[in-house]
Amino acid sequence: MIKVDAARSKELAIAHEVVVDSVNYASRIQRGLLPSMERMKSVLGDVGVLWEPRDVVGGDIYWMSPTNDDGSFWVGLIDCTGHGVPGAMVSMLVAASLERIYDLGTSTSPGQILAQLGDFVRIALNQDSEDAESNDGFDAAICKFDPKADSLTFAGARIGIFAVPKSGGDVIRINGFKGALGYKGSEPHTPLPEVDLKMSDLKLVAMATDGIFDQPGGADRRAFGPSRWRDAIQSTCHLPPSEMVEPLRRRLDEWRGDGHRRDDLSAVFLGL
């Protein structure tokens, strides 16, 4: 029996090592899908990114399009169903779909892009059929930056933006549409509402996923919430976006304390 137990332990150890190696390799693939800081900073004043999957891989992803001929470009933040390996698989589908939408050129505004992205993901997972087995989707926000037109256009599905005025006023929270995208259904998504802002009026635009807002903590184990996040941005927005990430991460860690982290954490800070 001792020999049998030892053999089984060895088999389990080998199987565990194979799984861990596979997930670590998947993490490198997922990170390879993310835009580089160099590319993002080449068209923005400065950039800060907080991207921490709860597990080795996760369902959050941020994305940036190539720069168009007129100098405009899109930046998006997406929170897919679940976390870990299932969430990562959906995030890769979302990233590939965004690249396809850009290549097709049929959608140019954030509201149209998000609607088409929802349709692509739904169809790719066969969720538009009656016998669909999966029911997955995502929250998302996309901003279109057009420096020549001094224009920033935002659309979101359950993800909003936090805008820091260049004048030094209070951080402005702009909510996204209340519904998520993808999931089961046969009706095409309709373009989402958009908000237009002037780039010259803003110092910073930030987007964050609900893994930040929903994390319980503090003395009463309450959710961190968007109001505390807005206050945290307000207290750090005097810093360049790339230097805001660490104090904000510490603020989230202090709030969570010894509690278990419930979800992936993702936020992008885009300097203008």
Could you tell me the end-to-end alpha-carbon distance of the chain, in angstroms, rounded to an integer? 67
Quick check: helix, strand or coil at residue 140? strand
Whether 22 and 38 map to the same domain: the answer is no
User: Which residues are paired to 81 by β-bridges?
Assistant: none
Longest CA pairwise span in the chain (Å) = 76
Whether 25 and 143 map to the same domain: the answer is no
Helix axes 241-256, 225-236, angle to 10 degrees: 140
Query: Which uninterrupted H or E stretch holds 207?
Result: strand 202-208
With beta carbons less than 8 A apart as the criterion, state whether 225 and 244 touch.
no
User: At residue 83, what is the residue type?
Assistant: H
- Say if residue 1's pLDDT is above 90: no
CA-based nearest residue to 209, from 115, 91, 66: 91
d(CA 110, CA 156): 8
Whether 2 and 54 map to the same domain: the answer is no
Radius of gyration of the chain (CA): 20
Into how many domains does the chain fold?
Answer: 2
0.75 surpassed by pTM: yes
CA-based nearest residue to 208, from 143, 268, 145: 268
Whether 41 and 22 map to the same domain: the answer is no
Whether 28 and 65 map to the same domain: the answer is no
Find the CATH number of the domain harbouring 220: 3.60.40.10
Whether 110 and 65 map to the same domain: the answer is yes
Write out pLDDT tens, residues 35-58. Answer: 999 999 999 989 999 999 999 999
Whether 27 and 87 map to the same domain: the answer is no
The number of beta carbons lying within 10 Å of the beta carbon of residue 254 is: 10
Write out pLDDT tens, residues 124-146. Answer: 999 998 888 889 999 999 999 99
Whether 205 and 235 map to the same domain: the answer is yes
Contacts of 90 (CB under 8 A, 6+ apart): 59, 80, 81, 82, 121, 136, 138
| Mean pLDDT, range 248-268, rounded to an integer | 94
| Mean pLDDT, range 171-194, rounded to an integer | 95
- Provide the 8-state DSSP code for 44: S
Torsion sign (Cα): 5, 11, 14, 19: negative
Whether 123 and 39 map to the same domain: the answer is yes
d(CA 262, CA 214): 8
Quick check: helix, strand or coil at residue 264? coil
Domain that holds residue 105: 34-271
Whether 24 and 96 map to the same domain: the answer is no
* Residue/partner pairs of 230-236 with CB below 8 Å, 24 or more apart: 230/162, 230/171, 230/173, 233/162, 233/164, 233/171, 233/204, 233/206, 234/164, 234/170, 234/171
Whether 41 and 171 map to the same domain: the answer is yes
CA-based nearest residue to 208, from 5, 46, 25, 60: 60
Q: Which residue has the higher pLDDT, 270 or 8?
A: 270
Share of the chain above pLDDT 70, in %: 99
**pLDDT for 233:** 98
Q: Which of these ranges, 3-17, 29-43, 193-207, 220-234, has the smallest mean pLDDT?
A: 3-17
**pLDDT for 23:** 87
Whether 41 and 21 map to the same domain: the answer is no
